[in-house]
Amino acid sequence: MSNLSALSQPNKSNEQTKLSDLTWPRLDIQIPLSFDKWRDLFKKAFPALDKYRESRTASVVARHLESLGYHVQRKIGGHGVVGILTNREGKTVSLRSELDALPMEEDTGLTYASKVRQVDADGYTKPVMHACGHDMHIASLLGAADLLHKVKNAWFGTLIYPLQPCKERLLGAQAMIDDALFDKIPLPDFVLGQHAVPTRAGSIGTQPGQVLGFLDSLAVRIDPILMARCIVSRLQMIVAREIDFKEPCAVTCSYLHGGTDASIIPEFADFTLDIPKRIIDGECRAANSPKSPRIVTSASCPPIDNDEEATTRFTRALRSFYGDDAPKKIIEMNLDITADDFVLLGHPPGQKPIPYVYWNYGVTPRDEYDQAEKEGTLRDLPFDHNPRFVLEIEPSLRAGIEGLAIVSVEFFGL
């Protein structure tokens, strides 16, 4: 799908050549018109509104990897796909991507905007779009897989590409692990992942240490609506009164439902929250609720805490690659309150934690970003999970492919 030039060949007389000693030309990426077709295909292929519906996209990705000579395993933890390419003895590097989309109606005005609608887990038909950049993630990963396959004589080791289902609900990585992922692949020496964000298109953000937050998502049933409203209101006080003002934090109620008609008092109310359980218990006791709340943890995800040494290596490799352009290309990745179950892939059951690096790359159209920066309105730009979230294909795809290729070669130890 992308026409990529080969990386320069390493010095064959010295297999221990360092990345900084290689001649790394710019990757000559030409985006053909078919990229729109790929993006639209991916949108139609994996709406993933409930648990693991990404079958069509998983099939497309698997066939593409197989055509490159990768050994592919399907249906791991649902529709999860893993591609493996062994190229002589060396380090093992894992590069993660995601398959799913979001139940939102796209309002970008693009010619290839998603028109897909699908029945969600709750039985309602909903519009579907890629409002989190997973279409760009997949295109970047497949482009990097293509590139690294073409230049196999420039590196040695084993590449692993896990493409997980159900990332938006933070369930896919654990599902793959529960389905014996680490018994089906070589144990990685490094786990790597990237995410598209609304910074200037083509930029790459790195940062050692904690970069993403943690999340406990709870499904709650109580008796009935008034108590639910009081609990949701009370929860907003947690951030103001109990969290250090220096710490990014959010309490989110994304769903509250009770009853079927205005004239009927419901027996219970259901809502979903990302919050501590003790507040719910306390509010129910204070209201003399006749029944204890039913609380089910639907997802749990620890924070992402980048390995300092590995992140420093990656950032140094980026600077070496981009040379004089590095100061405006490589930016500091800000701490974010969101969560990503990517982190679970660095914690194989019964094994030592694997060093991992998680970074961002910018996708916001450059002219829009520059104008907003000039006017001091960057906060008003469409962000992830927004129906107007637009990705500038070039240079975003270039940055996505380059980042994955550079980090792979760096951690193969050449």
Half-sphere exposure of 242 (CA within 13 A, CB side): 12
Q: Please answer whether residues 25 and 147 qualify as being in contact, where contact means their C-beta atoms are separated by less than 8 angstroms.
A: no
Q: Please answer whether residues 299 and 166 qualify as being in contact, where contact means their C-beta atoms are separated by less than 8 angstroms.
A: no
| Dist. CA 172–CA 153, nearest whole Å | 34
Taking residues 366-387, what's their average pLDDT? 95
Instruction: Name the nearest CA neighbour of 347 among 164, 93, 192, 177.
Output: 177
The residues spanned by each domain of the chain are 19-213+302-411, 215-301
| Dist. CA 119–CA 105, nearest whole Å | 14
Taking residues 376-389, what's their average pLDDT? 93
The model's pLDDT over 70-121, given as tens digits with 9 standing for 90+, comes to 999 999 999 999 999 999 999 999 999 998 888 889 999 988 788 888 777 7
Q: What's the confidence (pLDDT) of residue 18?
A: 36
Fold of 215-301: Alpha-Beta Plaits (3.30.70)
Which class is domain 19-213+302-411? Answer: alpha beta
Q: What's the confidence (pLDDT) of residue 359?
A: 98
Which carries the bigger pLDDT value, residue 181 or residue 149? Answer: 181
At 44, give phi and psi (nearest 5°). -75, -25
- For the CA atoms of the chain, what is the radius of gyration? 22
Preceding amide of 47 cis, omega within 30: no
At 19, give phi and psi (nearest 5°). -55, -40
Report H helices in 20-108. Answer: 34-45, 55-67
Phi/psi-derived region of residue 202, left when phi > 0, alpha when psi is between -120 and 50, beta in every other case: left
What is each CA distance from 179 to 65, 74, 98, 172, 350, in whole angstroms? 21, 11, 17, 11, 15
Q: What's the confidence (pLDDT) of residue 5?
A: 33
Q: How confident is residue 151, by pLDDT bands cut at 50, 70 and 90?
A: confident
Residue 26 has pLDDT above 50, yes or no: no
CA 54, distance to chain mean position in Å, is 15
Q: How confident is residue 349, by pLDDT bands cut at 50, 70 and 90?
A: very high
